[in-house]
Structure 1
Amino acid sequence: MIVRKNPISFITMNGKPNENWTNETDVFIVDDNSELAQKIKRNYPFFELVVENGEVIDVELTEKSIEPAKEEKIKELSSQCQQTIINGFIASNGNGYRLTTEDQLNMQGQKDELKDDETITEVDWMTINDENVTHSREEWLTVYKEAFRHKKECIFKNKQLRDQVKAATTKEEVEAITW
């Protein structure tokens, strides 16, 4: 692999992986199969060459190099948060409930109906297993509160993890953060 210092770039040629076939003077040779070559490929173009005795011995990552990893991790965490909300939860009554956007709107509508009509004593609701379950008014309101708590916990967990990502100083730290 040929590595150019200014502007930072690299190029490989299968037939001549470890020689300067460009005849340029401002370049360095790095073994294509080395750990250093992998590090260069993985972090390009966000690094500075560390040169000692005319040879590249390492690359020092620049601050910008971590930003794409952070952005990708934040998208990944947000997606996992949304999926965890949608997948639902197991309520204290032992039943599972999905929380798609439509499910959440339906729950809000049911709660409003219970608020408007105190004579309603039972609520039929579909569980995650597509079973129709009859709930007492109090039981259904408990399920509603638990659904809200589930969503809120997911949102706050996502916020905490995003803050960890933003505070990370290396790609390894970013990659170690998981849902």
Structure 2
Amino acid sequence: MTRILILDNTIINVDNEIDATNLLSQGAWEMPQADVKRLFGNLANTASNSNCSITKLPEGGYNIVFNKPSDETLLQEAKENKLNEIRVKRDEALESGLIYKEHTFQTREKDKLNINGAVTNLILDMQSNSNTITEIIWIDINDERVVFTPQEFLNFASMVAYHTQEITFKANAIKEKIEQANSKEELDLITWENE
């Protein structure tokens, strides 16, 4: 439960008894919980001097003035929302898999670690001139076994790395566009699909 206390015209959200007692001892006054619920609903924890001012009226009640967020604040919030949207799209793309030789392979982080481990073993085998690895069997997204020659597997691993790099670069380019946007309208035109 969030309690709203006002000390010297400063709105303070408190969620523990120790802070509330301390503020009250300094001369703060507390808005009754019924009024907090009625006026702020579930958003009591967001009440602050940046978005409203609260004055206790001598005859009882309160004068609450909600400040309209500045255009810059609204733009920053819209940018943050757009960045979160792009992060989700990036993560979905990174984990959506990769088609190679008519098979779809998973490309989650753990899959890429496994691929890198197999590449390391393969390279060590090649460098030692033992060449004991003549084929690599990998499982596709449908649990079908796919046989690779060492060179095919290196090509596959290279494609996975390139796939990851392209998605990451795309996300970074979109992030730069978002940061440079000067209006909500500009932000609305920026989508994962359009880039």
Indicate the TM-score class for this superposition, using the shorter chain for normalisation. 0.5 to 0.7
Instruction: Report the Cα distance in structure 1 between the residues aligned to 2:68 and 2:138, rounded to whole angstroms.
Output: 55
Instruction: Report the Cα distance in structure 2 between the residues aligned to 1:84 and 1:68, rounded to whole angstroms.
Output: 24
Encode CA deviations 1:124-169: one digit per residue, 9 max, x unaligned: 0011222111111111111100000000000000000001101111
* SS class of match (1:117): helix
- Give the aligned partner of residue 171 of structure 1: 184
The alignment of Structure 1 onto Structure 2 pairs a total of residues equal to 126
Instruction: Report the Cα distance in structure 2 between the residues aligned to 1:45 and 1:96, rounded to whole angstroms.
Output: 50
- Answer yes or no: is 1:73 the counterpart of 2:82: yes
- Answer yes or no: is 1:97 the counterpart of 2:120: no
TM-score, normalized by length of structure 1?
Answer: 0.65
Query: Does the aligned pair in 2 maintain the 1:123–1:140 contact within 8 Å?
Result: yes
Give every structure 1 segment of 4 or more consecutive aligned residues whose post-TM-superposition deviation is greater than 6 Å: none
What is the one-letter code of the residue matched to 2:85? E
What is the one-letter code of the residue matched to 1:145? S
Change (3 A) 1:8 1:111: closer
Instruction: Report the Cα distance in structure 1 between the residues aligned to 2:141 and 2:78, rounded to whole angstroms.
Output: 35
Change (3 A) 1:73 1:123: same
- Structure 1: 5+ residue stretches without partners: 1-6, 10-43, 48-61
- Structure 2: 5+ residue stretches without partners: 1-49, 53-66
2:152 pairs with one of 133, 136, 139: 139
* SS class of match (2:147): strand
Encode CA deviations 1:79-115: one digit per residue, 9 max, x unaligned: 2111101111112x22211111110110010000001
Instruction: Report the Cα distance in structure 1 between the residues aligned to 2:136 and 2:51, rounded to whole angstroms.
Output: 66
TM-superposed CA distance for 1:8, in Å, is: 8.2
- Give the aligned partner of residue 107 of structure 1: 115
- Answer yes or no: is 1:155 the counterpart of 2:168: yes
For 1:4-19, list aligned pairs within 5 A.
none
For 1:38-77, list aligned pairs within 5 A.
45-47=68-70, 62-77=71-86
- Give the aligned partner of residue 59 of structure 1: none
What is the one-letter code of the residue matched to 2:107? L
Instruction: Report the Cα distance in structure 2 between the residues aligned to 1:133 and 1:84, rounded to whole angstroms.
Output: 23
Query: Does the aligned pair in 2 maintain the 1:45–1:65 contact within 8 Å?
Result: no
Change (3 A) 1:8 1:114: closer
TM-score, normalized by length of structure 2?
Answer: 0.60
Q: Give me the CA root mean square deviation.
A: 2.1
Instruction: Report the Cα distance in structure 2 between the residues aligned to 1:159 and 1:141, rounded to whole angstroms.
Output: 27
For 1:1-40, list aligned pairs within 5 A.
none
